[in-house]
Structure 1
Amino acid sequence: MTIKNERGFTLVEVLATLIIFSLVFILVWSIFFQGTNYSKKAVSKNQLQQEANVIISSLNSIHKRSTEYSVTSNSCSFSIQYTAHNVAKTEVFENSQMCIKLANSFTNPVYPKTTNVEIELIIEEKDHPNNKVTINTLLSRLKEEQK
């Protein structure tokens, strides 16, 4: 007795299809997760850079407008005490998700003496310390003319 109607798949064809589909699915899955991981790192790096820009801008403003200031650094933050317009102020730079460090603490007690100060600002994620931004910059101001 011979069967003439052989419509359907053999077990080998089904297994081969499943293996090929699994390989394609694993490839797409890994590419998707690599993309999302890279995107998270890029967004995080961008946030670190933006935070660094804000801090540098604030430090530059304090450096230009204050008559004297000093900086104290903690493990993941730093504060700056300064005098502007005969008023003593303190500003603290900290973030719950980032570790903000100054590689060198600096003080500038008298305004006309120092016009330029080199600083190195390091900002890193607390959860991922390998993800960090380091900025070397120069705080500068014009010298006042002597009368």
Structure 2
Amino acid sequence: MKKLDSRGITLIELLATLAIIGTVSALVIGIIVTSMNNFHAAEDSNNIRSHANHIIFSLTNVHQRSSEYTIDYINEHSFSITAVNNEGANTTTINTYYYPISLHVDNGSGPITLTEENSIHIDLTDEANKKLHVQLRLTSDSNGRNDEVTLNPVISRMTKAGGEE
């Protein structure tokens, strides 16, 4: 009789090895996909917060350095600020590209909402406009977990317009 060669592997051993490799691969791919989705959600959240902070920073600078300014609606993703100071008028466009903007300003006499039909004009020679309650909402168009950021800062000015004390 012929002796069996014990150096090879059986079909059962091969199938068991392939099953184990397939299971481990499926688990690893699932972990990688979940990690990438979490990374993209965090990145979207950081981007939308960064845009919101930039808009508030721009509004604060204009509020502190101008004698008056007007915020005009351009489209759902952008608006312009025309500021008037001692050097003349300067227009800045704020564009969030992907995030629709909702902006409300309240100087104590009631909120004003920025819309296509309604601009927001702030005259800083009026004492009532030195302190503004602002509500800024940016909404993400993507299906991320953090799809909206709302900021409610108070923008104030300590001096009168034109640098007078």
Q: TM-score, normalised by structure 2?
A: 0.73
Pairs within 5 Å for 1:40-55: 40-55=40-55
1: distance between equivalents of 2:159 and 2:129? 8
Structure 1: state its 5+ residue gaps: none
Note if contact 2:60-2:155 (Cα within 8 Å) is conserved in structure 1: yes
Give the 3-state SS of the residue equivalent to 1:5 in structure 2: coil
Root mean square deviation, CA, Å: 2.6
2: distance between equivalents of 1:4 and 1:68? 96
2: distance between equivalents of 1:128 and 1:141? 38
Q: Which has the higher contact order (CA 8 A, sep 6+)?
A: 2
1: distance between equivalents of 2:24 and 2:56? 48
Pairs within 5 Å for 1:107-122: 107-111=121-125, 112-122=127-137
Instruction: Provide Cα deviations, 1:50-109, integer angstroms capped at 9, x if missing partner.
Output: 222222111001111211122223322122222111512222111334434324334322
**1:123 paired residue among 115, 138, 162:** 138
Note if contact 1:93-1:100 (Cα within 8 Å) is conserved in structure 2: no
- Structure 1, 108-117 or 24-33: larger mean CA deviation: 108-117
2: distance between equivalents of 1:36 and 1:61? 37
Note if contact 2:122-2:129 (Cα within 8 Å) is conserved in structure 1: yes
Note if contact 2:139-2:149 (Cα within 8 Å) is conserved in structure 1: yes
Say yes or no: does 1:80 pair with 2:48.
no
Identity within the alignment, %: 31
Note if contact 1:119-1:137 (Cα within 8 Å) is conserved in structure 2: yes
Shift of 1:143: 4.7
Structure 2: state its 5+ residue gaps: 105-112, 115-119
2: distance between equivalents of 1:45 and 1:5? 62
Tell me the matched-pair count. Answer: 146
Q: TM-score, normalised by structure 1?
A: 0.81
What's the counterpart of residue 158 of structure 2? 142
Note if contact 2:77-2:97 (Cα within 8 Å) is conserved in structure 1: no
- Structure 1, 5-14 or 119-128: larger mean CA deviation: 119-128
2: distance between equivalents of 1:79 and 1:128? 28
Shift of 1:35: 1.2
